[in-house]
Homo-oligomer: A and B are copies of this chain.
Amino acid sequence: MESDRPLDALNASRNKKVLVELKNGKQVIGTLKAFDIHINTVLDNAEELEENQVKRKIGKVFLRGDTIILISPAE
């Protein structure tokens, strides 16, 4: 079940926990609910991390795609 396109791979993480690294150095962890071709991304139950510790709870969050460096499965 190989995926040739990056967005297919991202789709495999839908409704699963992911770690998102932002260009401002912050990390947000949460359940991947939605994304689009710009990589605009919606997480649920999101938390901001600092050195792998929860810094604050954000809940639902819309992340503008151009602020994202990487998205990685976190479960």
Contacts and interface: CB of A to CB of B under 8 A. Distances in A.
A8 B22 contact: no
Given A24-B25, A58-B72, 18 more contacts: A3-B33, A3-B42, A4-B34, A6-B34, A7-B40, A8-B34, A10-B62, A22-B69, A23-B67, A46-B72, A59-B72, A61-B71, A61-B72, A62-B72, A63-B69, A64-B65, A64-B66, A64-B69
Interface residues of A, number: 39
A58 B4 CA distance: 20
A55 interface: no
Interface of A: 2-10, 22-25, 28, 33-36, 39-42, 46, 58-73
